[in-house]
Amino acid sequence: MKTSKKLIGIFLAILSLLLYFNMPVYANATNGTTDYNIFLSIPLENSGLEYEVNGDGYATGPTSFAVQGNFIYILDGEKNKVFIFKDGKKVNDFQVKGLLAASDIRVSKDIIYVVDKETKKLASFQQDGKQIALIDLADYSNKGTLTLDLDKDGNVLLKTGNGSLTKFDKDLKIGSVRQNFFKFNKNSNYKGNLLLSETGLNIDFNSNELLGSMSLTHIDKSGNLFVTTEELLDVPIITVEQTVKEYDSKGGLIGTARVPLELYKAHPDRYTDVTEDGVFALVPKAYSIDVVKLNTITNFTSRMPELKKEFEKSYKNPESDINKNSSMLAINYLTRSQVENNGYYINNYSWTLNSNNRKSMSGVTFPDWLSTVNIPYSATGIPYCWGGFDSLNTSSSSSWSNYGNAMSYGANAGNVYCSGYYKSGTAGLDCSGYVSACFAFTSKWGTGDFYSNTSLFNDINVSQLGNCDIVVHPTDHIVLWKGADYGNSDHFFTYEATTSGLDKCKAYDRYWSSLSGYKCRTYKYY
């Protein structure tokens, strides 16, 4: 009898665990800190959502999200799909037609709005996924990154990096345009202010560390402003504290909520959503997608002193085993302008995609932006290719001499299946291949080489970053730093080959938080 009871107890315990790992947790569960509470945890299994950190360090899966009462809308920018959850259970998912790299989502009056910041398009959908309208945003090409917000009446707003707001109706007809509604001014490495032109409200911000960015996230029905800030340690390893600060309509600070960046391995385009119910953050994890509710704290204590101690304890700059006579060195010692020009020509290289370059191959995943177009197709930019080193002057194979020659030969254009090694018969550049080509290296370096080499590169602090310095993680990704226009954008700019957004070599924009843990380095011979 005792044995039977014990077996029943074990069975019930196992059943409880199985139910737990396959059902959403929808509650204000505490995480044991004062920073946030778990609002919703969606197990990936059977949800249709994915979260996988691939070889270049970025996640396939959630890009943005929106919270509307007991509804959660999650945008998967890789699949270009919207997933809708009610009370923690999936009720629908649909493809966002007409977009190639969906980047942000808002929901207003049961209408779903999705923007593609790279191809500059905006679409609206019904709850069942039926598309209402799709418009081109080519006129916004030089206005910084594009995100979405809601005004106090629930109307959708297109927000540009240079501080303009455009109101749209559900048919995507323009209702009003407010030029230069807000502007972020960086007065020094440690001081900045956010100016609202219509009211003249000026919010000053002073940091004990470097001020990375400051942006207007939302204005609620009471006129309270929510401002996202990024502060950084001035050290070689990018160390960020991202917060959402709430101010009253007169600019008085109400409280501060901290985004728990330590939970992130890779980063969505939208970290937070501000609603009348509070400030929420999207946290993709290995086995679940979590939405957490951030706690706004009146007497906020920064973690930067603690993070600085952690950096000082762990930072090392090891000697490299790559010597100065290696065949991997640059053909010539290049200037910043020469490296920049090499990147520009790769990003803007024109070529034609045809049936010979888009073939089905085992172990190869074709770049999204090339998989759906009609061929022949006039393409711009060399596509991302895992392990690839096919630039204007280099190649991955002895069968061709450069990327253009590879296309004539019949190589497959790109491969975003980032696992294992370079796949024979594919052509393009991965992140380290791209930077190697920009520096005119005769052989491809890996991210670990760029991270540790001391013959050609030195570590520098964040404040010392200049045009075409490198920002690199030893096992994830590498970018060329292009600078920041603090008056016109809350982002900084890069040249890189990435699977984020359009899978290719390109000019891109980022938040500092997206490169947390990366090292800043400069070429010794600039």
The tens digit of pLDDT for each residue in 399-437 reads 999 999 999 999 999 998 877 789 999 999 999 999 999
Strand partners, 389: 429
- Could you tell me what percent of the chain has a pLDDT over 70? 87
Q: Which amino acid is at 294?
A: L
Distance CA 257, CA 273 (A): 12
Distance CA 340, CA 334 (A): 10
Q: How far is CA 469 from the centre of its chain?
A: 20
Q: Which residues of 154-174 are buried (b: 16+ CB within 10 A; e: fewer)?
A: ebbbbbbbbbbbbbbbbebee
**Could you give the domains of the chain?**
22-300 (2.40.128.630), 336-523 (3.90.1720.10)
Distance CA 13, CA 16 (A): 5
* pLDDT of res. 163: 81
Q: Identify the CA nearest to 498 among candidates 147, 94, 77, 82.
A: 77
* pLDDT of res. 10: 42
Q: Share the mean pLDDT of the chain.
A: 85
Q: Identify the CA nearest to 36 among candidates 301, 297, 298.
A: 297
With the C-alpha atoms ordered 421, 427, 431, 433, is the resulting torsion angle positive or negative?
A: positive
What parts of the chain have a pLDDT lower than 50?
1-32, 321-327
With the C-alpha atoms ordered 340, 344, 345, 346, is the resulting torsion angle positive or negative?
A: positive
pLDDT digits (tens, 9 = 90+) for 181-213: 888 887 788 888 888 888 888 998 888 899 888
Report whether 259 contacts 513 (CB < 8 A). Answer: yes
Cα radius of gyration (the chain):
24
Contacts for 107 with CB less than 8 Å, ≥ 6 apart: 66, 68, 71, 73, 113
* pLDDT of res. 319: 57
β-strand pairing of 156-160 with 146-150: antiparallel
* Residue 87 backbone zone (phi > 0: left; psi -120 to 50: alpha; other: beta): left
